[in-house]
Structure 1
């Protein structure tokens, strides 16, 4: 009644999986994720530095760039060009975005057990939360 299968299945199984493409470990995947989150945080930090320059943001940008370079094998991260935009709501939005990205970085750093990156991400979350507090209270 049924015709026998004459060709090999196009779906590979774990037993016959091809080995001709590179595989990344969980740690390598987490490194890539963490470097991406920290690079995104660096881009937002650079934008904040253009709008409201401060020594804290300069130091944070340097530390973020160091961590991204470490995770990416020593290459310097791409940096956002500093533009000047002067709207106050824009600053609030940037601080919210930076806080959210720092939170994501903290989760990945904790999962990866990367203490240096976790501490940096937590410090950035605190800094951006503190920058939001007066504005958030004024709007409610």
Structure 2
């Protein structure tokens, strides 16, 4: 799964403008996280349902951004689901650098995005966790 990390000015309306530009192109934001930094900027991480259109919008908006692969977990909405997924990643010697949640389009099922060094291996582990939970 592709994640975009966008660096925005930390001021009113900036995030709304970018989200509106994505929406105007039919891009659905599946999950996001936004945090201010010490330099008057915000770091906005997002996963969308259409990475190609997202890239085009980010380019047209002249944003400073990067792309990276992340692992997605479709977890059931019940006690212990996140604990189990995080524990399995740890057993696989995969460190979780950051994580955030969203909603899967179409089903509204919870999804968790994991920023890890080896997204491919993490995805395999998380697929096994999801299959065991089903």
Q: Same fold (TM over 0.5)?
A: no
Structure showing greater radius of gyration is: 1
TM-score by length of 1: 0.25
Q: Which one has the bigger strand percentage? A: 2
TM-score by length of 2: 0.26
Q: Which one has the bigger helix percentage? A: 1
